[in-house]
Amino acid sequence: MKVSLKWLEQYVDIALSPAELADKLTMAGTEVKGWEVIGGDWENVVVGQILAINPHPNADRLTLPTVDLGTEQQTVVCGAPNLKVGDKVAFARVGARLIDGHSGKAIKLEPAKIRGVASTGMVCSEKELGISDSHQGIMVLAAEAQVGTPLADFMGDVIFDLDVTPNRPDCLSVIGIAREVAALTGQKVRLPDISYDETGAPIERQISIDITAPDLCPRYSASLITGVKIAPSPHWLQQRLLAGGMRPINNVVDVTNFVMLEYGEPLHAFDYNHVKGQKIIVRRAEEGEVLVTLDGAKRPLSPDMLVIADSERAVAVAGVMGGADSEMTGQTTAIVLEAANFNPASIYHTGSRLNLTSEARMRFERGISPELTIPALRRATKLIIELADGKAAKGIVDVYPGKREPEPILLSKGELKRLLGVEFSLEQIKTALISLGFDCQAAKWASEVKAIAPYWRSDISLVEDLIEEVARVIGYDRIPVTMPGGEVPRQNPAPIIGFKQEVRRDLAGYGFYEVITYSLTSLDLMNKLLPQPHPLEPEPLRVLRPMSTEQEYLRPSLRANLLAALEANRRHEEGGIRLFELGRVYVRRPNDLPDEPEMLCGLLAGPRFGESWHGGDEPIDFFDAKGVVEGLLNHLGVEADFKPADDESLNPAKQAAIVVGGKKLGVVGELHHKVAEAFDLSEKAYLFELNLTELLPFTMEHKLFQPISRFPAVVRDIALVVDAGVTHHQVTDIITGFPLVTRVALFDLYTGGKLPAGKKSLAYRITFQSPSKTLTDEAANQVQKKIIDKLSKELGATLRG
Amino acid sequence: MLKQLKELKSSALKELEAVSQAKDLEAWRVRYLGKKSQLTNILRGLAKLPIEERKQVGALANQIKSGLEENLEQKSQLLKQAKIAAVGEGIDITLPGRPFPTGRLHPLTQTVTEICDIFVSMGFQVVEGPEVEWDYYNFEALNITRHHPARDSMATLWVDAESENGQRNMLLRTHTTAVDTRVMEQMPPPIRVVMPGKVYRYEASDVTHVPMFHQIDGLAVDKNITMADLKGTLYEFARRFFGEDRKVRFRCDYFPFVEPGVEMAIECLVCGGTGCRLCGNSGWIEVLGAGMTHPRVLERSGIDPREYTSFAFGMGIDRLPMLRYGIDDIRLLYGSDLRFLRQF
Ligand SMILES: [Zn+2]
């Protein structure tokens, strides 16, 4: 909200600089985002009055106005067409800092000779004073401007830009801010006089009010003013509205807006002659009812919306916007002035359903006090009588079904200390509360105070609210700095948290860069993972109103984003790329929140090591990807089997399921060439994926120490020839099934050459060791023979010569 | 005397240039830096000079001496390397090593870890909650009723799935504060937890906005938790994360789930408090919102506010590495660009 310092000063004395005031308000909860000084550089600019205008002897377009400056008169050269004798103007003396009307640059006014006539001063346009961009003509000041006063005194101001928190609708008003300033600076607030003569006929004879939905309208007050003359409002009023960011319209509307800015109570003026049946009914809208609002839009209404109606039809959407039918016109002579209070939730829903925002809605939906209606109504009525020549009816109609007595709140010193950790004396507490307008009464105990919130503080209902009030007035900086005492709570962190961190560090150690991508993704991107298009199963979760199709679905896997990241990086990276992401995917569950397993996905592509004088620029292959998975699982203490898999996004011939404890927990393989093409990749890329949530329990198995054998090991190499279809895993399964075998390592794989077609050679180094004795060659030979026998019997293996 | 020194220096350097063997180097050292060298003699004779001259000559002589010593050391290294490289089995140790791929953790991961470590050392425990959440935990339980203006400031992304009663009240959590109630429902006090994670808003991307970002919330519940403890905890965090000398400000602010409410700001990292574009000329940068947990929030979670008090805080994480490293576009954090990721 924008608040003018000059306006504020009408209600409270302010001795602080703008910066000091901004700091006080900010620290106490109303943030001052900035302020603008108007007229801060208007030195040597004073109010003048045009006494005479003579023609310039040498130029038709120029004139020579003589200006009365109080102390002296000056005749200068002027080019503007709009000057009239008697006008009050802003006169810049030599030395004034102005903005050049044509170039827009800052200048310092010098004596000049214009077309042969000396000019030692200037009458100014708005642009030259930096008020606006208008350079059409000279700025004409309001008649009340005093000749000779510095312009800064007449028009200068500081406009503060405040960020009012949603709990403080009272601060959406100048008086509300004045109350804050008063409390924070030890001053008193001066409220405007709201008394006026009620010279008209009694109001009850002219209008009646009926609230049929008291749950949505706790209070409705109205006054009636006859004989008004609609006209533009005076300069000072327009000035206030402009400073508050509102456009002046006419004297009556401007008064309602002015009082809203002043008191924070939205008001609405109806043309009395358009209110049919001399009756105002506050009711729920009827099914199918339609209202054309002030902005000209046709609004379909529904029974959960509150309207203001006359005996025939709705004339306004309560608290949100008035109707076009009952709007005041230049011909309006009598008005009904409404000051009401509406249920915040109802206003919120009506406003958002109709997609209408307004200054009134903003205040009502934050919950302003119903007590505000009368002072605001009286203030506005008084101003309308003064500014529009009206006559106020005798009395005010005030229907107040929602009246509630304010509840006193008991606050003890101890309670305050319990929450803030600092002890304030009862005197300090009372002083703070009283400064904010609270009524403080003695309580049963001497250490307590009974406080009743002032009517405008609709946000106060709990003792905690009172404590905040005390703390912010005394100052948060008076709260000491301590550490929580008591015992440190028992720590039982979920193992997944440390586990994720360990996996991340491992992957970074293997040369992978971690990426974090958006969990929201597009159908297009997900479809790129499918070589044959088909609907996704299970159907990914969708956002109801997505911002764009790019961010429409909750990702069911990390793959698509990671591949997109590879694609993007390939545009500027030539070497090997290793990326991983660790994060959640989202899997639909019936009638419940989705499952959010923690997944790991890694991607490798390009040369293994990149250009080096050592070589090593062969391309990464399947076994690089598998090696990473093996290394990770090995480090985590998990044994995995790699089994044939049928992941559609991967090359059917080069992929393996990662199986742990009989459960498929992931996959590793080469990207399907069609998927690679879809991501614009012209190289082979390798991917691995692991469900960490499911892997976690396998990493937590209890480990038992294995005694280290003191006896020497015997190492034997065997070279086998087997059918090409026999797997390494089949061979090692057999070998490790024998006693005394402690280690088997494949050290050579060989095909072609002298081997017959369809055969391959595998060479293994087998380590035999006994935990209890030195193994003889004989014993090792025996086992080795049995191994070879079994390999030959079950796999058809022969020893290579 | 000064001229003499300068000549000495240039001839010494010229001779050093010509040295090609270790034994010649030793001879050079004796000649120019040894006990009987001209330079040593000059330094010894300083005491006999008049005070003014003594100062000038002494300074120059010492400067030349340390300069020559440095040159000697460099030359000696060069001779050693050349000797090794020249022998058959020797290696040129300046050749690049066998490459080993390097990887890095994402700057956000590093930041979250750093923050969590600080709070863990203060007795907090790391807890995580679901990212797809019920309206209840994200809003209702935190006093953010259906018509609360705070809902508008947190533009929500709703999910198309239905709950058991057929309502669509599932959303992408808008803040990690959504985990608070879950923690209080599950853990008996005393509680000290921090809750990092991803949060989502209906927000178009630009240099300061993205639809998904990171937050961390904190919560402490105990019999005697006070606002002074909140201040102490957050000041300690700020001291360790932003540095010893960084000024911290604690001001009143409003959040529906705390009372009293607090905003903590640090002195601007760019202007140091004088005001600049980054801090909107205020000199301060808001880093987190906090306060004493609202009694109704405690009650709803089954904690008696007459028995226990509690503080809570929440902060955005993405801004922290941005401030620390001077990153000017938040989208870089989610862009997966290796040229960016390699820098942290
Ligand atoms: Zn700054």
CB A142 within 8 A of CB A47: no
pLDDT in tens, A277-286: 999 999 999 9
Sheet containing strand A663-671, strands side by side: A513-514, A577-584, A598-605, A685-691, A663-671, A650-660, A641-644
| Cα of B267 from ligand 1 centre, angstroms | 8
Q: How confident is the model at residue A60 (pLDDT cuts 50, 70, 90)?
A: confident
Q: pLDDT tens across A580-639, in order?
A: 999 999 999 988 999 999 999 999 999 998 778 888 789 999 999 999 999 999 999 999
pLDDT of residue B18: 85
- Determine the pLDDT at residue B88: 62
Ligand 1 mean position to A688 CA, how many Å? 45
Report the residue from A167, A484, A616 with minimal CB separation from B229. Answer: A484
Q: Is A478 on the interface with B (CB under 8 A)?
A: no
The residues pairing with A506 across neighbouring beta strands, listed in sequence order, are none
A576 with B101: Cβ contact below 8 A: yes
Work out the minimum CA distance from B263 to partner chain A, whole angstroms: 9
Half-sphere exposure of A725 (CA within 13 A, CB side): 2
Residues A164 and A30 sit within 8 Å (Cβ to Cβ): yes
Give distance in angstroms: CA of A159 to centre of ligand 1. Answer: 22
For residue B249, give both structure tokens. 């400000």
The number of residues making up chain B comes to: 344
Could you tell me if A243 and A2 are in contact, meaning their C-beta atoms sit under 8 angstroms apart? yes
Average pLDDT over residues A492-509: 96
Interface size, chain A vs chain B, as Cβ–Cβ contacts under 8 Å: 267
DSSP character string of A503-562:
HHHHHHHTTPEE----SEE-HHHHHTT-SS----SSPPPBBSS-S-GGG-EE-S-SHHHH
Mark out the alpha helices in chain B (DSSP H runs).
Answer: 2-18, 22-33, 38-44, 51-86, 107-120, 135-138, 149-153, 178-186, 227-242, 295-300, 319-325, 338-341
Nearest by Cα to A27 from A158, A184, A172, A168: A184
A623 touches chain B (CB under 8 A): no
Q: Which residue shows structure tokens 């049919």? A: A276
pTM, to two decimals: 0.87
- The pLDDT-based confidence of B79 (bands split at 50, 70, 90) is confident
Give the residue ranges of DSSP H helices in B89-166: 107-120, 135-138, 149-153
| Alpha carbon distances (Å) from B264 to A26, A84, B237, B245, B321 | 12, 57, 11, 16, 18
Residues of B in contact with A216 (CB under 8 A): none
pLDDT tens per residue, range B179-235: 999 999 999 999 999 999 999 999 899 999 999 999 999 999 999 999 999 999 999
Q: State in Å: Cα B281 to ligand 1 middle.
A: 6
Q: What is the DSSP string of A569-585?
A: HHTT--S-EEEEEEEE-
- Which chain A residues touch B259 with a CB distance below 8 Å? 462, 464-465, 467-468
Q: Which of B108, B130, B249 sits opposite A596 (nearest CB)?
A: B130
Tens digits of residue pLDDT in A338-360 = 999 999 999 999 998 898 889 99
Q: Which domains does chain A have, with CATH numbers?
A: 2-39+158-185 (3.30.56.10), 45-155 (2.40.50.140), 203-399 (3.50.40.10), 409-478 (3.30.56.10), 495-699 (3.30.930.10), 714-799 (3.30.70.380)
Sequence-ordered alpha helix ranges (H) in A571-718: 622-636, 673-678, 692-699
pLDDT in the model for residue A579: 98
* Torsion (CA) A628, A631, A635, A641 in degrees, nearest 10: 100
| pLDDT tens for each residue of A287-297 | 999 999 988 99
Please tell me the CATH code under which domain B107-341 is placed. Answer: 3.30.930.10
A51-55, A173-177, A734-738, B87-91: segment of lowest average pLDDT: B87-91
Check: CB of residue A167 under 8 Å from CB of residue B255.
Answer: no
Contact B102 A516 (CB under 8 A): no
Taking 90 as the threshold, does the pLDDT of residue A542 lie above it?
yes
Q: Is the pLDDT of residue B86 over 80?
A: no
**CA nearest neighbour of B178 among B234, B119, B236, B134:** B134
**What is the average per-residue pLDDT within A644-650?**
96
> Per DSSP, what are the bridge partners of residue A748?
A763
* C-beta of residue B58 within 8 angstroms of C-beta of residue B43: yes
**CA B241 to chain centroid:** 6
> In the predicted model, is pLDDT for residue B23 greater than 90?
no
Residue among A271, A242, A270, A272 nearest A257 (CA): A242
Nearest CA in chain B to A460: B259
pLDDT digits (tens, 9 = 90+) for B288-307: 999 999 999 999 999 999 99
Q: Six-digit token pair at A477?
A: 């900086």
How remote is the CA of residue B271 from the centroid of ligand 1, in Å?
4
CA-based torsion, B238, B242, B248, B251: positive or negative: negative
pLDDT at A582: 98
* A490/chain B closest Cα distance in angstroms: 8
Asked whether the bond before B190 is cis by omega within 30 degrees of 0, the reply is: yes
Rounded to whole angstroms, the maximal C-alpha distance in chain A is 133
pLDDT of B89 higher than 70: no
A446 contacts A426 by C-beta, under 8 angstroms? yes
Distance from CA of B228 to the nearest CA of A (A): 5
Tell whether A480 is within 8 A of chain B (Cβ). yes
- Angle (CA) A456 A458 A459, round 5°: 125
Rounded to two decimals, the ipTM of the complex is 0.89
A509 vs B: CB within 8 A:
yes
Read off the pLDDT of each residue in A666-672 and give the average, rounded to a whole number.
Answer: 97
Residue A523 tokens, joined: 């159908």
Mean pLDDT of B24-46: 85
pLDDT in tens, A368-425: 999 999 999 999 999 999 999 999 999 999 999 999 998 999 999 999 999 999 999 9
Say whether B192 and A519 touch across the interface (CB within 8 A): no
Pairing between β-strand B309-316 and β-strand A335-341 as defined by DSSP bridges: unpaired
Residue contact B99–A28, C-beta within 8 A: no
Give, rounded to a whole angstrom, the gap between the first and last alpha carbons of chain A. Answer: 93
Which residues are CB-contacts of A68 (< 8 A; sequence separation ≥ 6)? A48, A49, A50, A51, A147
pLDDT score for A728: 94
Map tokens 């063997």 to a residue: B21
In A557-616, the residues whose Cβ lies within 8 Å of chain B are 561, 564-565, 568-569, 572-573, 576-579, 583-584, 586, 588, 591-594, 596, 609-610, 612-614, 616
- CB-nearest to A420 from B133, B228, B232 is B228
- Treating both helix axes as pointing N-terminal to C-terminal, what angle do A426-435 and A463-474 enclose, rounded to 10 degrees? 90
**Angle between the N-to-C axes of helices A495-509 and A622-636, in degrees from 0 to 180, rounded to the nearest 10:** 140
pLDDT tens across A614-626, in order?
887 899 999 999 9
Distance A298 CA to ligand 1 centre (A): 48
Q: What residue has token string 């991967």?
A: A650
pLDDT at A642: 95
Phi, psi for A323 (deg, rounded to 5): -95, 155
CA distance B246 to B292: 24
Contact of A487 with chain B, judged by CB distance below 8 Å, is answered with: yes
Task: Count Cα atoms within 13 angstroms, Cβ side, for A476.
Answer: 28
* Chain B partners within 8 Å of A508 (Cβ): 103-105
């399907």: which residue's tokens? A672
* Shortest Cα distance, chain B CAs vs residue A757, angstroms: 38
> Is the confidence at residue A82, as pLDDT, over 90?
no
Tokens of residue B240, six digits: 């360790």
Question: Is the Cβ–Cβ distance between A365 and B147 less than 8 Å?
Answer: yes
Residue B111, SS3? helix
Per-residue confidence band for A562, with pLDDT thresholds at 50, 70 and 90:
very high
User: How far does residue A764's CA lie from ligand 1's centre (Å)?
Assistant: 67
Question: Which of B174, B150, B173, B193 has its CA nearest to residue B310?
Answer: B193
* Amino acid type, B149: P
Residue range A444-472: mean pLDDT, rounded: 95
Nearest of B192, B184, B313, B183 to residue B255 by alpha carbon = B313
Contact predicate A452/A441, CB 8 Å: yes
d(CA A795, CA A711): 32
Helical packing angle, A235-243 and A251-263, nearest 10°: 50
Residue B84 has pLDDT above 90, yes or no: no
The residue assigned the tokens 């059918």 is A723
The most distant pair of C-alpha atoms in chain B lies apart, rounded to whole Å, by 103
Among candidate residues A595, A529, A588, the one with its CA nearest the CA of residue A559: A529
B248 vs B245: CA distance, rounded Å = 9
In this predicted structure, the answer to whether residue A331 has a pLDDT above a threshold of 70 is yes
Secondary element (H or E) of residue A53: strand A45-55
Half-sphere exposure of A332 (CA within 13 A, CB side): 26
pLDDT of residue A626: 97
- B113/A501 Cβ within 8 A: yes
Across the interface, of A481, A517, A584, the residue whose CB is closest to B131 is: A584
Query: Given a cut of 80, is residue B90 above it in pLDDT?
Result: no
Question: Which residues of chain A lie closer than 8 angstroms to B128, CB-CB?
Answer: 494, 496-497
CA dist., res. A281 & res. A340, Å (int): 12
* pLDDT tens for each residue of A651-660: 999 999 999 9
Q: What is the pLDDT of residue A280?
A: 95
Q: Is the pLDDT of residue A59 over 90?
A: no
Helix (H) and strand (E) counts in chain B: 12, 10
B73: CB partners within 8 A, 6+ apart: none
From B103, B147, B282, residue closest to A513, measured CB to CB: B103
Three-state secondary structure along A736-777?
A: HCCCCEEEEEEEEEEECCCCCCCEEEEEEEEEECCCCCCCCH
Residue of B nearest to A598 (CA): B130
Task: Please state the φ and ψ torsions of residue A300, each to the nearest 5 degrees.
Answer: -75, 130
